[in-house]
Amino acid sequence: MDQNSRSFWQIKITEAIQGDVVVVPKNDGISNVPKPRDSGLFRRSLGEIKGQIADWRASVPGTTQCVHAVEYRDRYEVHLDRYDPGKKPLEHLLYDSPKYAAIIATGAVATLAVVRTLLRKK
């Protein structure tokens, strides 16, 4: 773990908890921004496909929330999720990823319909 990286990302986590999306350019014109993985705060994760390189999540201690850093080629976009998928996966799908919840529900209904049809034929 790199202490400079940890300090940098702790500030960005605090900013995300306090408000909207925090945009972090990967190169600020002076130096490169530290990687979330080097901070010891973030873990690699999955996220809605939006053209990103990677997704990173950091749990918010004492809550069910997490900070989600979406990594693009030139920047990170950091925001607060209401529910950490590692702590509350169903709630995360319903509130933070409703599009994927709908896709999963549709797939489940379709699968049940196929299974019912197959069972009736026996």
For every residue of 67-101, DSSP letters joined together read EEEEE-SSEEEEEEESS-TTT-HHHIIIII-HHHH
DSSP 3-state helix, strand, coil percentages of the chain (rounded to 5)? 40, 25, 35
Cross-strand partners of 54: 71
Res. 103: pLDDT tops 80: no
User: 23 is in which domain, residue-wise?
Assistant: 3-120
Res. 113: pLDDT tops 70: yes
Tell me the pLDDT tens digit for each residue of 1-39: 688 899 999 999 999 999 889 999 998 777 789 999 999
Give the β-pairing of 75-81 and 54-59: unpaired
Total domain count for the chain?
1
Contact yes or no for 66/81 (Cβ under 8 A) = yes
Contact yes or no for 68/57 (Cβ under 8 A) = yes
